[in-house]
Structure 1
Amino acid sequence: MGPPSLRPIHKWIVFCCLFVICVVFLPQQRTNDAPSPKFKALLPVTTTLDDSEDPNDSFPYSSIRVQDATALPLYFVESSQCKIPYVDPFGADTVAVYKRMVYEPCSNDTALVTPIYDVGRQRYVLHINETLATRLLQSREIEYNCYYQEIKRSPSDGYDSVDRKYFSQDYVVPLHVEALILGCHRIDNTSHILQSDAYTLVQFKAPQPGLSLEPSKRKPSLLMFGIDSLSRINLRRTMPKVYKFLTGRGWYELQGYNKIGDNTFPNLMAILAGYSPESAKEQVCDWKTNGCLDETPFIWKYFKNASYLTAYAEDESGINTFNYVKPGFNEQPTDYYLRPLQKAAESDLDTWKCADCSMRYCIGRRETSSYAYDLCKEFARRYVVEQPIWGLFWSNSFSHDDYRMPSKMEDYVLQYMLDLKSDGVLEQSIVIFLSDHGSRYGEIMYFESGFLESRLPSMFIYLPPWFRAQYPEYARALELNQHRLTSNYDLHNTLKHIIELGSPDGHPLPKSYDCPKCHSVFYPMDEQRTCEDAGIPEHYCTCVPYKRLSGDWPRRIAPRVIERINEYLSGRNLSSICANLSLSYIHETEIRVALDQNFHDLQSTSDTAVYRTMFKVKQNSADFRATVVFNNITEAVDVNVTSISRLDSYENDATCIADKTDKLYCICLSNLKE
């Protein structure tokens, strides 16, 4: 006979004991065995799309579904020299605070006057919507006049406007007019404006003599579509539809693309000129002085020399890359250039900020970024079949200050990409969808993935069918390089490579000055590549893990870094206007762990090691992150002060100085808060 059955009360006691054991000991065991989240991959992205859908079709947000997490990668890049962990855009810390934003149209009004390009005459005509004018006037009896003001570029890289010129229906615009402000008013009241608008005109320019359009000798056109401060992680989080489009056939994501500098200027300088700002100042000229940027060997000069038509557009003129605390250009840099019109529109048209906006959301009837993106569409439509073109079209306005804002603009950006497809641009041209860096300040910097968010910008390259067919080896190399370490300097060399493809003499162009080992992404990257090989400074390198430290001894590092910042300010003769910084508290300190080390064994570290420290100072509660070499014996710290990252907005802290780098570290005495 078997043992007697347990009474119900005994069963309940046994069950409770087992439950307590599971709750108390098993999570602890998992915690003790697991590597640091900074080293292992975080949970994968959960916003993916059905493979059956056409990646270049418009689709509703509801079509996004959750995919099994085990099907996704652990790393963006994984080699013996570089491990960049894949980050879940919807990790627990993100989900706790992230909310999608809702798109707000600037206006539901149609255009009262529209510049229409007459292909036969190769001229613009101004067409008035007379029905709309009657509706706006609420009468057929009241008369009105329409006018335009030509916008000209001024030598100061600004604009000059010409007196109003009145016109009648289907007026043919003179060829010299490249930008204009349009308006209509009551004939008896010039201040009663029915509607005003602003346009850049892509006036016809004939191909250069001798330009060959034979398929075997064709020069690849190239359009660069840029969104400031958009990491590849945040793209997946805020614009899943755009991300899906960018994973369609012919697109390649450089998942190991790592920025080389803190903000927009160094990263775009590396892409467009092949120099770091420091090297450009030493080797070319001081870009802070008037006229230097005109002398700098920017990529558009090489494209223009190769018979390309060129364009450069950037919204939010106040923070344009080459104008914010810089002198800008004396000569117009490209054939088509948005800045004069953008400044005129910002000044002459009504502007509006949404409730969550820090920058102008609307200028006139349209979104601020639409002036740059519309120029991209018009430029491509005009020339993509007729002659080779290059253009950079960049927006700051909706992405620069808030990592959530791109979610508001998801369908808006997607529509521009779909328009490029429907206009046949993707049949003809290489397209690069890129960013300069991820978010650099705000709450996202305090996420566990904050270090990676700021250093891993979006980078997608599209190759048209004819290019893939004519250069299959380049397509194969690009596919291989999707999971290898790349940088801005590689992209610069790729732009030069594209120019060389259509060059009849075949002479190689000078490659990126600051990265001798960098090369075009159309050639395979070394699998064992390091950040040093790619020209990426240690402070921005995401290849090697760091482990968070506990205890008191790591707290010695941050005060030494603050001393160095104060010494920097003193050396810049700023101590009389900038506050002397002092430590408030330390968020965290981490130690760099070599990939061949045991991640859990800190006994093998030498007296000198590389550390990352994130700390807050008392003055205006400013936050910083620094990468330093620290000697545990002598307490000597080796740090490049100008590489130290500011993690919160400094716009209102540094109004007493103009230098953009100094602004990061200066808390003006006049701006000190109680």
Structure 2
Amino acid sequence: MESRIHTYQWVYKFLGLCYFLIAVVFVIYGSNVSWSTKIKQIRNPNLSRISESEDKPEPQLYYLKTSKCHIPYVDPFNDEVMEIYKPQTLITCSNETDLILTEYNASIKRHVLHIDEKVALKLLNFTEAEYNCFYREIKYGDQAETFDKLGEKKYFTNGYEVPLHVEGMIVECQLAKDPKVVLQKDAFTFVQHRPLPKNLESPRGTRKPSVIMYGIDSLSRINLRRTMPKVFKFLQGPGWYEMKGYNKVGDNSFPNIIAILSGYSETTAKEQVCDTNKAGCLDEMPMIWKYFKNASYLTGYAEDESDSNHFTYLKPGFSKKPTDFYFRPMLRALETELDVYRLPYMRYCLGRRMANRYVFDYGRQFTKRFVHERPIWGMFWSNHFSHDDPFMPSSMQEKVLGDLLDFQEDGDLEEMIMIFFADHGTRFGRLTELQEGFLEERLPMMFIHLPPWFRETYPSYAQALELNQHRLSSNFDLHNTLKHIIEIGGTPDGPKLPKSFDCPTCQSLFHPLPEDRTCPQAGIEEHWCTCEPYRIITGQEWTTPIAHSVIDRMNEYFVHKNLNRLCSNLTLNYIHKTEIKTGPNLDYFKDLRQESAVYRIKFKVNQNGADFQATVVYNNSTQKAEVNVEKISRTNSYKEDSTCINDKLAKLYCICFGDIKA
């Protein structure tokens, strides 16, 4: 018995020693490694702890990863952004039910006005008081950008057929005994039917694809996923293609939109065509709608905020009506004649409706009226709810989704190519201050829908678009694609249309883009390029001279533009962040302090706390920065800083002496 006990004691001691040794091994391997991994590593000492660790960092994801371009994926709901993200609630402009309704009678091809008697009874407090309803026609002015006046009062009753020449009206219903008592005031715009021209009455051999462009200002692909997830889900449906490598080519709306519509940058247009700041130039520019119109397309264009219109914000606008259906004169009448509610700066409500509802209703009318019987091109743009507040699109999700569903349910998407896009992302404010702010600003959303008949007729074009979702692309490529669409519907021996002037290496998205494409090959300048990674650097003795040199260039710019008597000299307050360009295939830099390198620096100046971001080539020996001042980004609002000048670009940098805050 004693020997057996002795044996058990020896066994217990041996097991205890084994447990102790195992515990020591676990301590040596560290507490950050999972139990399953520790066991695997004990069994196989050569196993890499990093490769097996459950706590290893997630692999970097990319919107785009090619041999020459790495655009990182951004989690739209990461911890940093969720600290500031607040979904917005839709603000309605009126709680009243519509007294006047309109419908389009397809059999007689006329708009009809209806009066809802039940609503009238409620507005009359259920009395038998009599009332009258009338409209005043919105008449075009001599200039394309204005409306002339309102026409005389035309009284109407229920079932009134709107005359074909009327494209817009202000309507009112008043008490018969006291006309000062207005039951309801409203406004309507109409896309009136136009008969087919003779050359389109008989079927043609090649089917012309229609194009509708639905645009939302300042909406990045990241913020779309964040604020409109239902819309994003819809855009994953059959026939939709997301251009995940789409990168903007300019700072604000105008350079990005003009590149799409004309194929020119503003600078090159001034050299090759005309100065877009001078009256009459925009009429001369080779806008895409001119090419569509020459190919027998019916054309339409609409925006929802006249003060921030692409072609009239510090620009002269058009002297001639640019498209067959042009909404701006109607918009000016609505803004003038109806009550306006602003949120915060732009006109949010025009009378009883949100401003963008007029625009997209106009676009829906235009599409529904014509897309099933003739080729059309139209662009319909909204910025009143997305430009100033990056989170306001969340309140519009159901409205935008409803627009897209209407296109689908009416069968319009079966007929046409649709482009759902933005000009750029958020350019100032809270989102730009985040770690991913650089990407947020430069990666606008871009989705293209091809109808089934087009995919079946041109399978190689659909395959190319599928491939190009994962290639670097730009506004100039989209311009070439629009030209390609026109050529598709033309005669085989017809002339080839000129491609984008500013980017000779750009092409139609219906042909495969090169896998090794770089930003210069896509017409994207260094400051806007998201392809190549940068690494943060620290040390004031190194980064401060870069900021000072950039500010010197900005102050020289004021002198060169003869603005130094109006604009204050800028001085450095502090540096937010400085980064050095490393390139897509470099994991580290052995010697960051090169003689000359590309830097990205974000800084604040003392004057009104203005924030700027610049991409510069800086020479550490000469301490001189090479930078195009007009490519420097202003990353906070400048509305109240540069009221003394009207120069559209200089306003970004100028802090007027009279606007300096104490």
Same fold (TM over 0.5): yes
Q: Which moved more, 1:652-661 or 1:136-145?
A: 136-145
Which amino acid counterpart does residue 350 of structure 1 have in structure 2?
Answer: D
Alpha-carbon distance in structure 2 between the residues aligned to 1:214 and 1:240: 41
- C-alpha offsets along residues 313-334 of structure 1, whole Å, 9 cap, x if unaligned? 1001110000011111111111
Q: Secondary structure at the match of 2:187?
A: strand
Taking the aligned partners of 2:166 and 2:305, their CA distance within structure 1 comes to 23
> AA paired with 1:595?
P
Confirm or deny that 1:307 pairs with 2:290: no
CA contact 1:254–1:460 (8 Å) conserved in 2: yes
Instruction: Report whether the alignment pairs 1:430 with 2:422.
Output: no
Deviation at 1:655, TM superposition (A): 1.1
Instruction: Say which of 361, 373, 377 aligns to 1:374.
Output: 361
**Cα-Cα RMSD:** 2.4
| Partner SS state of residue 181, structure 2 | strand
Counterparts in 2 of 1:304-383, with a 5 A limit?
304-353=293-342, 357-383=344-370
What is the match of residue 205 of structure 1? 194
Task: Report how far residue 338 of structure 1 moved.
Answer: 1.3
With 329-338 and 604-613 compared, the bigger mean Cα shift is at 604-613
Does structure 1 residue 634 correspond to structure 2 residue 625? no
Is 2:513 aligned against 1:503?
no
User: 1:248, 1:21 → 2: CA distance?
Assistant: 46
**SS of residue matched to 1:483:** coil
For 1:191, what is the secondary structure of its paired residue?
Answer: coil
2:133 paired with 1:123: no
Give the SS at the match of 2:520: coil
Q: Which residues of 2 match residues 215-294 of structure 1 at below 5 A? A: 216-294=205-283
Aligned with 1:489 (options 476, 479, 494):
476
Cα distance in 2, alignment partners of residues 17 and 84 from structure 1: 40
Q: Provide Cα deviations, 1:583-638, integer angstroms capped at 9, x if missing partner.
A: 00001111111234x33224277411111000000111010000001111111211
Q: Which residue of 1 aligns with 2:13?
A: 3
8 Å Cα contact 2:363/2:380 also seen in 1 = yes
Matched, 1:143 2:130: yes
Match of 1:517 in 2: 505
Return 5+ residue gaps in structure 1 as ranges. 24-32, 35-41, 44-68
Counterpart Cα distance in 1 of 2:359 and 2:204: 30
Distance change >3 Å, CA 18–CA 352, structure 1 → 2 = farther
- Contact kept, 8 Å, 2:582 with 2:589, in 1: the verdict is no
Deviations 1:158-190 (A, max 9, x none): 212223222222222222211111121112223
Query: What's the counterpart of residue 190 of structure 1?
Result: 179
The whole-number CA distance in structure 2 between the counterparts of 1:345 and 1:19 is 72
Q: Secondary structure at the match of 1:125?
A: strand
- Alignment of 1:179 with 2:168, yes or no, is yes
Matched position secondary structure for 1:556? helix
| Residue identity opposite 2:173 in structure 1 | C
Map 1:383-462 to 2 at 5 A.
Answer: 383-462=370-449
C-alpha distance 95-18 of structure 1, shift in aligned 2 (>3 A): farther
Match of 1:47 in 2: none
Instruction: Indicate the residue corresponding to 1:529 in structure 2.
Output: 517
Aligned residue identity for 1:256? G
1:555-634 correspondence runs (5 A): 555-596=544-585, 598-603=586-591, 606-634=594-622
Tell me which moved more, 488-497 or 178-187. 178-187
Please tell me the residue identity of whatever aligns with 1:222.
Answer: V
Q: Take 1:260 and 1:284, find their aligned partners in 2: how far apart are those partners?
A: 20
> Aligned to 1:574, what secondary structure does the other structure show?
coil
Deviation string 1:113-157 (CA, Å, 9 cap, x unpaired) is 223222222222222222211211124421111111111232341
SS at match of 1:211: helix
Counterpart of 2:153 (choices 139, 145, 164) is 164
Counterpart in the other structure of 1:673: 661
Counterpart residue number, 2:37: none
The amino acid that maps onto 2:602 is M
Match of 1:109 in 2: 96
**Contact 1:212/1:218 (<8 A) preserved:** no
TM-score, normalised with respect to structure 2: 0.90
Unaligned runs of 5+ in 2: 1-9, 34-48, 51-55
Large movers: runs of 4+ above 3 Å: 2-7, 13-23, 212-216
Could you tell me whether the CA contact under 8 Å between 1:275 and 1:514 is conserved in 2?
A: yes
CA offset digits 1:219-251 (Å, max 9, x no partner)? 111100000000001000110000000010000
Number of positions where the alignment pairs a residue of Structure 1 with one of Structure 2: 626
Contact 1:213/1:387 (<8 A) preserved: no
- Secondary structure of 1:3 counterpart: helix
Task: Give the Cα–Cα distance (whole angstroms) in 2 for the partners of residues 335 and 585 of structure 1.
Answer: 52
On the 8 A contact 2:582/2:588 being kept in 1, the answer is: no
Distance 2:400 2:566 in 1: 43
CA contact (8 A) 1:199 1:341 kept: no
| Aligned residue among 444, 455, 477 for 1:468 | 455
The C-alpha deviation readout for 1:492-548, integer Å capped at 9, x for no partner, is: 000011111111252211110100011110000001111000000010001111111
Q: Which has the larger radius of gyration?
A: 2
Preserved CA contact (<8 Å) 1:555 1:589: no
Distance 2:512 2:391 in 1: 35
Matched with 1:84 is 71
3-state DSSP of counterpart to 2:649: helix
AA aligned to 2:256 is: N
Q: Give me the whole-angstrom Cα distance separating, in 1, the residues matched to 2:549 and 2:593.
A: 20
